[in-house]
Amino acid sequence: MIVHDTVAINDARLRLGAVFGCAFGEAEPVSGGRNNRLYRLVAANGLAVLVKRYVRDDRRRLEREFGAMRFLRARVGALVPAAILSNPDFDYAVYSFETGATRTARDLTLAEVEAMARCAAELHTVAPHTPGCPKFPPAVSAAFSIAEAFTLIEYRLTRFEASARASSDADVRAFAARVPARLLIGELVSRAVKVLPPGAHEGALPTEERRLSNADFAPHNILVRPNGSVCSVDWEYAGWDDPARLVAGFLAHVHSLGLPTEHATRFQQLYAELRGLPEAEVARMAALRLFVEVEWATNHLEGMTEERLRRYLHARPDADPHAYFAEQIADCERRLARVQGLLG
């Protein structure tokens, strides 16, 4: 275990002992964290908790996740883990250890996808005007208008261009030299905008229509319990966003690409039914998916930057940087081809 993690976990063990009145055993590493390190602690009475050691950056991950889960657990119950305690001085928080497992998109049953749609709809009962709701910030990568989505795409493109040609990885440098990323993305954005319904890019989404999002709602972040219920985890990007972006993001996510078409259709349909969305909003949500598909291409481009590599290595210190970059390049190429196919 990394030395700094040992200090943090010992601190957590002491604090947990004071809260629960019992001793907690040695930490067991938990796989799955892409940016952060996870550990399981079990008390003498069998109580299990999850210690999350956050990467330190400008996204305020601990503050966002702990605050969102503390509020949501009281409102939507076991759809999210319980937030138990945190210590920003050591960059960690402790949550309930939830039973269950993630499924690959292609392995999800229709019933499980429906449970995820119900989860999303229930989470979206939380609005800025909800009584007792904290003043959450916008979610990481939130976009309340098409103009803001343009800004996000430009930001990622610029970061890629600034990093890629001087990358430590030869394959990233070669990719940047042979792929006209800015030109390709510009063409795809222009085509995606034409699919949006009239008025979809006029002004920002009103505050009262915004909903709480973890900005990463997808199969890899949703535990399926043995009884078929689900639990949404990984809220470190939490904040307000356009609710249509959560649905579009779920369907376009890199971890949803194997989802059968009928399952994807049912997810969107059931979510819309549960929220009572009008036809115009359903149409906007469906069209926005194409725009989010383009955003995902820029997400993979940004994934080729040295900063994103550093975050990845925080959670996986022994990982191979070249393999990480190779994955990002392959994902980006697949996404570009996918979006071109979807746009016709």
| Residues spanned by the domain of 221 | 105-343
293 with 165, same domain: the answer is: yes
120 with 87, same domain: the answer is: no
CB 61 within 8 A of CB 40: no
Rounded (10°) angle between helices 279-302 and 181-195 = 170
**The predicted structure's pLDDT at residue 335:** 96
Q: What is the mean pLDDT of residues 227-256?
A: 97
Nearest-CA neighbor of 256 among 102, 106, 141, 117? 106
57 with 180, same domain: the answer is: no
**The predicted structure's pLDDT at residue 201:** 65
Percent of the chain whose predicted confidence (pLDDT) is above 90: 88
- pLDDT tens for 287-337 read 999 999 999 999 999 999 999 999 899 888 889 999 999 999 999 999 999
Place of tokens 């990719």: 175
Handedness of CA 126, 128, 129, 132 (dihedral sign): positive
The tokens for 86 are 């945190």
Compute CA 91 distance to the chain's CA centroid, rounded to the nearest angstrom. Answer: 19
Label residue 233 by pLDDT band (50, 70, 90). very high
CB 293 within 8 A of CB 142: no
**The predicted structure's pLDDT at residue 198:** 80
Q: What is the mean pLDDT of residues 39-58?
A: 94
> Is 4's pLDDT higher than 80?
no
Label residue 35 by pLDDT band (50, 70, 90). confident
64 with 112, same domain: the answer is: no
Phi, psi of 85 (to 5 degrees): -160, 165
Express the helix, strand and coil content of the chain in percent, nearest 5 each: 55, 10, 35
Q: What is the mean pLDDT of residues 126-143?
A: 95
Label residue 55 by pLDDT band (50, 70, 90). confident
Of 65-79, 137-151, 194-208, least confident by mean pLDDT is 194-208
Place of tokens 């076991």: 78
213 with 323, same domain: the answer is: yes
- pLDDT tens for 201-230 read 678 999 999 999 999 999 999 999 999 999
> Is 173's pLDDT higher than 70?
yes
265 with 339, same domain: the answer is: yes
157 with 279, same domain: the answer is: yes
Higher per-residue pLDDT: 303 or 59: 303
State the CATH number of the domain containing residue 67.
Answer: 3.30.200.20
55 with 134, same domain: the answer is: no
State the CATH number of the domain containing residue 114.
Answer: 3.90.1200.10
Structural domains counted in the chain:
2
Most distant CA pair in the chain, distance: 62
What are the start-end ranges of the E strands in the chain? 28-30, 37-42, 48-53, 83-87, 92-96, 211-213, 222-224, 230-232, 239-241
What is the SS3 assignment for 94? Answer: strand
Of 38, 65, 96, which residue sits at a domain end?
96
**The predicted structure's pLDDT at residue 109:** 98
Place of tokens 């250890």: 97
Dump the DSSP string for 237-290: T-EEE-HHHHHHHHHHSGGGTT--HHHHHHHHHHHHHHHT--HHHHHHHHHHHH
Label residue 148 by pLDDT band (50, 70, 90). very high
67 with 200, same domain: the answer is: no
> Is 277's pLDDT higher than 70?
yes
Measure the CA–CA gap between 244 and 259, rounded to whole angstroms.
19
Beta carbons within 8 Å of 336's beta carbon, 6+ residues apart: 184, 188, 297
Of 96, 121, 152, which residue sits at a domain end?
96
CB 172 within 8 A of CB 325: yes
78 with 123, same domain: the answer is: no
What is the SS3 assignment for 102? Answer: coil
pTM, entire model: 0.93
91 with 113, same domain: the answer is: no
Of 96, 115, 142, which residue sits at a domain end?
96
Beta bridge partners of 52: 38, 93
The tokens for 136 are 């959450």
315 with 168, same domain: the answer is: yes
